[in-house]
Amino acid sequence: MKDKLNKMLEKYPAAVFKNRKEHIIVKEADSEQPQSITANTRTVPGIITNRGCCYAGCKGVVLGPLRDAVVLTHGPIGCGYYTWGTRRNKGRTEGDELNLLNYCFSTDLQEGDIVFGGEKKLRQAITEAVEIFKPKSIMICSTCPVGLIGDDINAVANWAQKEYGIQVLAFSCEGYKGVSQSGGHHIANNGLIKHIIGTGERAVGKYSINLLGEYNIGGDGWEIERVLKKIGYDIVSVMTGNGTVEELKNAHMAQLNVVQCHRSINYIGEMMQTKYGTDWIKVNFIGIKSTMKSLRDMAVYFDDPDLMARTEEVIAEEFSEIAPIMEEYKKICQGKTAALFVGGSRAHHYQLLLEDLGVETVLAGYEFAHRDDYEGREVLSTIKEDADSKNIESLDIEPDSTHYRVVLSQERLEKIKDQIPLNYYEGMMKQMKNGSLVVDDLNHFETEELLKILKPDIFCSGIKDKYVAHKAGIFSKQLHSYDYSGPYAGFKGAVNFARDIAMGITTPSWKYVIPPWKTQPMLEGSLIGGK
């Protein structure tokens, strides 16, 4: 494997070779791993990366799923259109609640606005939104040209707040500021913790939690909520899948933060711990065994025999329903291999679900992860300063004088901290097999080359690289949007995933696809050829 990898890397110019070599490693036994991975750095200019921009992370990922806010894109129409909620965010309202997810709000800036300034158009758009929808909150998200021409979106937000008496927040998330994760999510989340969380007072039930880092892709959040509610949890808020600003206001009242995607939200978990005394626990509701483990870990935190008994009851009930169907799909999938390249958590989470089906992951990589997502939070203190975090406001958080409280005693925390992932994430790599590949910021050239080297049966990624695999005759599955399928989370979701994977690999289409390298002579040394 190492030889093949080096041959691939040698096709790069010297400077790129050095850079990319640091982002690709072969997994070895934990104690013998010779190199730590380089992550959270800027992509080499000119490389066709798969990463999304800061605006995509702020508007598309974090604020987009909020049903009751007008999330207004200040910029040309393309950015608003691409992040339009209906593409993948799912939301359901109760009663006469406002559901704005089906709309695409944008100032639709034109050339004249770029030359003469867009603030007037922004004020006009807010006025129209208020008149038509009467929302309680509006969130302005700026795109690249807005930052370049210097529109003062904060001033417009202040004006609108006074003029209409509603909450109007401004997010300076211009795409060029960085990638989805290290820029966009953080800017959005900082805004939510500064202005929204902590402003409500709903009385919470016995086992109250927030589900953090769950974006309801393909309806995953609904499936997770179904199981948690069946056990008896009170879900105070989901951040942010099918979420609302109204719910988020009460998030500080929950006893425990349950973290699905560590990358996008671990800092909110940390800030809420400092501010409100709320612990967080890392879970993974993708995969059957991992869902069972996560439910049991949560029950350990609450340390209540009734909750533990109910957890076991629900696990037994749900599992017995799906086990025979999963066995059938496993017969089809067993022994296959997969390569996964997704944002900052799914490349880890889906390995567990694939394992339930007998599929081995031979390559896994992230677009936006930091070293701790690969190697575990124990490396946090060794991460270099020059990581790509330049544009993120660092908030000074202090205990909240009215809402801070101690949920579990120090004694209890000490007792359970080695049993459950409390305020801890072990990262992706520890669970990977020795010899498998770990690639940060995989690009199109490497995708083609590694598919040739590894020949996986399944390639899971996003829309930008999906067809690279298809054209090579390899079944590909989008893990950002599930190709309009799902949910894939929890017990019932696992069956949907198993069905889709079994269908994908057994379809006869793949044998009719002839990849270019089978018919065309290879261009020795070129980035598009290779042996």
- Positions touching ligand HCA (CB under 6 A) are 52, 56-57, 60-61, 180, 343, 462-464, 478, 480
Q: Are 504 and 510 in contact (CB under 8 A)?
A: no
Choose the one of ligand CFM, ligand HCA, none that binds residue 215, judging by a C-beta under 5 to 8 angstroms depending on kind: ligand CFM
Applying CB under 6 A, which of residues 189, 480, 494, 505 lies at the interface with ligand CFM?
480
Distance (Å, whole) CA 44 – CA 49: 9
- Examine the residue annotation and report whether 185 is marked as an active-site residue of this protein: yes
Residue 64 binding: pick among ligand HCA, ligand CFM, none (C-beta 5-8 Å cut-off by kind):
none
Tell whether residue 59 is a contact of ligand CFM (CB under 6 A): no
Choice among 39, 53, 79, 364 that is catalytic: 53
Q: Are 39 and 23 in contact (CB under 8 A)?
A: yes
Residue 464 interacts with which of ligand HCA, ligand CFM, none, CB < 5 to 8 Å by class: ligand HCA
Choose between 139 and 168: whose C-beta lies nearer to ligand HCA. Answer: 139
181 binds ligand CFM (CB under 6 A): yes
Q: Which does 236 bind (CB under 5 to 8 A by kind): ligand HCA, ligand CFM, none?
A: none
- Which residue's structure tokens are 């999510």? 185
Which residue's CB is nearer to ligand HCA, number 295 or number 428?
A: 428
Residue 68 or 367: which CB sits closer to ligand CFM?
Answer: 367
Q: Which of the choices ligand HCA, ligand CFM, none does residue 477 contact, using the CB cut-off of 5 to 8 A by kind?
A: none
- Is residue 20 part of the annotated active site? The answer reads no
Q: By CB under 6 A, name the one of 145, 344, 421, 493 that touches ligand CFM.
A: 344
Find the part of the chain contacting ligand CFM (CB under 6 A) among 166-174, 202-210, 344-352, 380-388.
Answer: 344-352
What HEC string does 349-360 produce?
Answer: HHHHHHHHCCCE
Q: How far is the CB of 387 from ligand CFM (least distance, A)?
A: 16
Using CB under 6 A, which of 368, 445, 459, 488 touches ligand CFM? 368
* Rounded Cα gap, residues 469 and 460, in angstroms: 9
Q: Would the CA dihedral through 201, 202, 207, 211 be positive or negative?
A: negative
342 within 8 A of 463, measured Cβ to Cβ: no
Give the pair of three-digit tokens for residue 407.
């949920």
Q: Please give the helix or strand (H or E) that residue 234 lies within, else none.
A: strand 234-240
Task: Tell me if 209 sits within 8 A of 236, measured CB to CB.
Answer: yes
Choice between 230 and 466, CB closer to ligand HCA: 466
- Out of 20, 51, 74, 185, the active site residue is 185
Strand ranges, E, within 359-504: 360-366, 437-440, 458-461, 475-478
Q: Choose, by CB under 6 A, the member of 261, 268, 286, 495 that binds ligand CFM.
A: 261
Is 217 a binding residue for ligand CFM by CB under 6 A? The answer is: yes
Supply the minimum distance, in Å, between the C-beta of residue 481 and ligand CFM. 7
Active site residue 173: no
Q: Tokens 């006074």 belong to which residue?
A: 162
**Residue 427 backbone dihedrals phi, psi, to 5 degrees:** 85, 175
Q: Which helix (H) or strand (E) holds 306?
A: helix 305-333
User: Which phi and psi angles does 408 have, rounded to 5°?
Assistant: -115, 145
Per partner kind, with CB cut-offs from 5 to 8 A, the member of ligand HCA, ligand CFM, none near residue 19 is none
What tokens appear for 405 in the block? 């409280």
Active-site annotation holds for 56: yes
Query: Could you say which of 61, 156, 281, 286 contacts ligand CFM (CB under 6 A)?
Result: 61
Pairing of strands 69-74, 458-461: unpaired
Residue nearest to ligand HCA (CB): 52
Report residue 352 as tokens. Answer: 């567990």
**Separation in Å, CA 87 to CA 10, 64, 80, 103, 386:** 39, 11, 12, 11, 35
Question: Sheet containing 69-74: which strands, arranged edge to edge?
Answer: 105-106, 69-74, 137-142, 167-171
Residue 355 or 373 having the CB closest to ligand HCA: 373
Chain contacts with ligand CFM (rule: CB under 6 A): 57, 61, 180-181, 213, 215, 217, 261, 263-264, 342-346, 367-368, 480
The catalytic residue positions are 53, 56, 87, 185
